[in-house]
Amino acid sequence: MKPLIIALALVLAAPLPAYANPRAPRDLRELAHQHGIRIGTAVDIAALRGEPDYRKVLNREFTHVTAENAMKWESVEPERGVYTWADADALVENARRNRQRVRGHTLVWHNQLPAWLTTGVADGSIDSGELRSILRDHITTEVRRYKGKIRAWDVVNEVVEEDGTMRKSIWLDHLGPGYIADAFRWAHRADPQAKLFINDYNLEWNSPKIETTLALVKDLQARGVPIHGVGFQGHLGIQYDYPGDWANVMGRFAGLGLEVAVTELDVRMELPVTEEKLATQATYYSRALTDCLSVEACKELTVWGFTDRHSWVPGWFDGQGSACLFDESLAPKPAYRALLAVRDPR
């Protein structure tokens, strides 16, 4: 056998290095490409600007990003008619440079509203007619600004209570339930190409919330309202059972023709951290990705922050934390490695 042929045969017979094996992705970005989904994170804008190590991991690992706070109403219009776009613009521009798609979060919510709005409604200086115009103008202005730059918007966020009733808010109280359909229509007019979502927490397991949200979506669809997807926030804790029916719930929404997304995944634990707790956390993360992959319509899995350095959890859940894929030093945790090991279950 000629030397060249012998050399070629040896090369072909040699095992592929781990990085060349499609079953062993090097990072989350490669994992996303292998599975044909988007893997994203919420972004802390101050960290994006001021922490090079944070920015390096963000841009290396993720194909999709969400502004944690920079696109919320109190951030973009803290004074009536005075818009502050710098933070949101920074997120969108960084995403463009790093081949990341963007989820807009969120257009209509009962929290993080500017004081001028809530005070005006409370003291009666803003009546229902004016409130409707303000909401329309806010949605139109923000969506139009990022037309063609936002893949998907969380149009309405957390509009269903735990008991399955519609959430009491200034929107429901003063505009009635029709504000939801209006919000989707206004967003669609401002950017007809953007995917429009309803987004909520505990939708993974809470039966009253699931049934009400399903009924709401069906009603919107029956009236020709442009709604394209449902977002499952996915704020989990290892002290609670994993929502074992989650894939079936995703399937029920997918059956309505909706895109499905896990939009805010994190898995908190009671402190202190132990190896056993980290191992349990890893199984929750891997099961969430497996559930997403098992449903054809699930096109995105986004974690709500990727490092414990900037996690919202300790400030909200007393005595709990360590909810993210990377620790405070940006070292990957077992949960990160568990995600890389997930195989497509279909």
Which residues belong to the active site?
A: 264
Three-state secondary-structure class, residue 37: coil
Is 317 in a helix, a strand, or coil? coil
Phi, psi of 101 (to 5 degrees): -90, 165
What distance in Å separates the CA atoms of residue 222 and residue 216, rounded to the nearest whole number? Answer: 10
Question: Residue 248's CB: how many other CB atoms inside 10 A?
Answer: 11
Which parts of 40-99 fold into alpha helices (H)? 45-50, 52-61, 73-76, 86-97
Contact 125, 167 (CB under 8 A): no
DSSP state letters, 1-36: --HHHHHHHHHHHSPPPGGG-TTS-SSHHHHHHHHT
The helix or strand, by DSSP H or E, that contains position 156, with its residue range, turns out to be strand 152-157
Output DSSP code: residue 165: S
Closest to 137 measured CA to CA, from 110, 115, 108 = 108
Three-state DSSP at 135 gives: helix
Determine the Cα angle at 287 with ends 285 and 293, to 5°. Answer: 110
Sign of CA dihedral 222, 188, 213, 77: negative
Find the angle CA(215)-CA(188)-CA(111) to the nearest 5 degrees: 65
